[in-house]
Amino acid sequence: MFYFHAMFWKRLAFYLNPLTLFQKPDPDLSLRFMHGINRISVFVFLICIGVMVVRACSR
């Protein structure tokens, strides 16, 4: 169970790190697109959580 949580936080830190956007791309195009979509979904999720927190605090 602990390994899963550590792996989750490690992957989340990888997606949020702006330096990983400019690394050498994977030769597999579909894998590269999958990682791009995952990165976008993480950013949208965090933005939505931020909006919900701001709306809850402003009431």
pTM for the model: 0.61
What sections of the chain are H helices per DSSP? 2-16, 29-57
Look at the block and give the residue holding tokens 């009431």: 59
**Tens digit of each residue's pLDDT (9 = 90 or more) over 11-55:** 878 777 777 766 776 678 887 788 788 888 888 998 999 999 999
Question: For residue 22, what pLDDT is reported?
Answer: 67
**Tens digit of each residue's pLDDT (9 = 90 or more) over 17-28:** 777 766 776 678
Question: For residue 30, what pLDDT is reported?
Answer: 85
